[in-house]
Amino acid sequence: MDTSLQKLRTQLGLSGRPVVAVQGLGFVGAAMAVVTAAARTPAGQPCFDVIGVDLDTPQGRERVRCIANGIFPFASPDPKITDALSAAHRCGNLVATTDAAAFRLANIAVVDVHLDLSPASDEASSVEFGAFEAAIRTLGRELPAGALVVVETTVPPGTCANVVAPALKHELRQRKMPEDSILLAHSYERVMPGPDYFDSIVNFWRVYAGHTAAAADACELFLSRIVNTRKYPLRRLASTTASETAKVLENSYRAANIAFIEEWGRFAEAVGVDLFEVLSAVRDRPTHNNIRQPGFGVGGYCLTKDPLFALAASRKFLPNSKLDFPFSKMAIAVNRKMPVVNVERIEQFTGSLAGKTVIMLGVAYRSEVDDTRNAPAEQFYRELARRGAHVVCHDPFVRHWKELNIDLIENLPDPADADIVAFTVPHKAYCNLDVLAWLHGSKPFIYDCDDILSDQKRAELRASGLIVESTGRGVGL
């Protein structure tokens, strides 16, 4: 055994526990590694030894360094995640590495690597399988016989059957091992970074399926040690393609729901009603209680692309199919326009934005996270700048906005010279902000992009002489 593997064995203490390797330490993989290390037997002992594995890149090395030092690699307001990582660090049952040979120690490998649409394809005519398939082939080359692979990555339906299984079999043949030496299952994640980061894995419903019955059984046994199945029973589906479809469908439904409400937001603004009030009334009907609301836009890694994965699957795996998914494509298009719609409405109230100073409160893609991937704030910022505005950004969780290469100040900006203040992300810090005290007599135009200011707060601001308007509400509401 080489030196690096021996070092990992020594770090894990040769406990004899099953070893779980998590491939990819991004927002999902890092949390999955911590949660898996936190799983306990009825006697209170760790169920698993866990190895987090990432690429040998600057980003991967930094994530490995954080995990190895008991530091969660992403900003999180959830103490359960940080406490669980500290406990695993003390216990010694969670380590991290960039050495792919670590998979040789694993009984179970959880795949949490990205799978992206081609940047040049708005209609998902191609999917970038290269890096994903390379990650799978690594597992096929390194995992021991009898290991279980659980794919958590969101993929076009049919990926496990048509890409993952053949890649594993190819590598096993190269090793002169039986093609069924490694078990394959799919169980998609529903991880939600933020205050419920930990519970979105442990205390939440889970879907799974196996490429074979034996793989499904093995996946069920693994998940049952992590998920609180007494309150959240596991749901087994008939095939990995069915499980893949479930994830893509639920995200497509949510994206379409959000896009649908956007047109009603514009209608409410035009006819002078408060759509949030209307939606509260609609939600009283139990069959409609999950209706979405107008807002700032859709961001993050999932809803911005997942609705196109069924189209991608039909083109990749069903070459003669004429399926087109018009609603899913339309949802993506509508949601992409939402930040610009907010800019346009601000300009309707304030006139030309050229030369105006805009304070933008929030750049993350959702509240209580530091994740700026595909954040609608980016398009909002670029559109303001395109129209000649000077934009000052703040976010309580973000110090450097990577996509725009902008450093953000830690404290709230001085509003003295601001013409416009746009509340863009419903971070608690903004929802609870004493706006009048912060403004200290300044009188900028206030625009609420995402129902961040309460009815009472909007009334107080108006009573002080400020003009306050909102997405999804008629003028002065």
Helix (H) or strand (E) holding 136: helix 130-142
- Are residues 348 and 199 part of one domain? no
Q: Select from 431, 428, 439 the least CA-distant residue to 467.
A: 439
Residue with tokens 């669980």: 84
- Are residues 450 and 385 part of one domain? yes
The number of domains in the chain is: 2
325 lies in a domain?
yes
CA 190 to chain CA mean position, Å = 8
- Are residues 81 and 145 part of one domain? yes
382-416 confidence digits (pLDDT tens): 999 999 999 999 999 999 999 999 999 999 999 99
130-150 confidence digits (pLDDT tens): 999 999 999 999 999 999 999
pLDDT at 397: 94
- Are residues 277 and 236 part of one domain? no
- Are residues 286 and 231 part of one domain? no
263 lies in a domain?
no
* H helix count then E strand count, the chain: 17, 17
- Are residues 296 and 408 part of one domain? yes
Rounded CA-CA distance 27/244 in Å is: 20
What value does the mean pLDDT take over residues 187-191? 95
pLDDT at 119: 53
- Are residues 279 and 206 part of one domain? no
260 lies in a domain?
no
Q: What is the CATH number of the domain that holds 36?
A: 3.40.50.720
Instruction: Compute the mean pLDDT over every residue in the chain, rounded to the nearest whole number.
Output: 94
- Are residues 276 and 232 part of one domain? no
- Are residues 423 and 385 part of one domain? yes
Rounded CA-CA distance 238/235 in Å is: 10
Rounded CA-CA distance 78/185 in Å is: 29
- Are residues 458 and 413 part of one domain? yes
Residue 342: strand, helix, or coil = helix
246 lies in a domain?
no
248 lies in a domain?
no
And the tokens for 142? 């390194």
Contacts of 291 (CB under 8 A, 6+ apart): 257, 261, 279, 282, 283
- Are residues 346 and 303 part of one domain? yes
> What pTM does this model have?
0.92
52-105 confidence digits (pLDDT tens): 999 999 999 999 999 999 999 998 889 999 999 999 999 999 999 999 999 999
193-228 confidence digits (pLDDT tens): 889 999 999 999 999 999 999 999 999 999 999 999
Residue 425: strand, helix, or coil = coil
293 lies in a domain?
yes
Specify the length of the chain in residues: 477
208 lies in a domain?
yes
CA 335 to chain CA mean position, Å = 16
235-284 confidence digits (pLDDT tens): 999 999 999 999 999 999 999 999 999 999 999 999 999 999 999 999 99
Domain that holds residue 220: 3-241
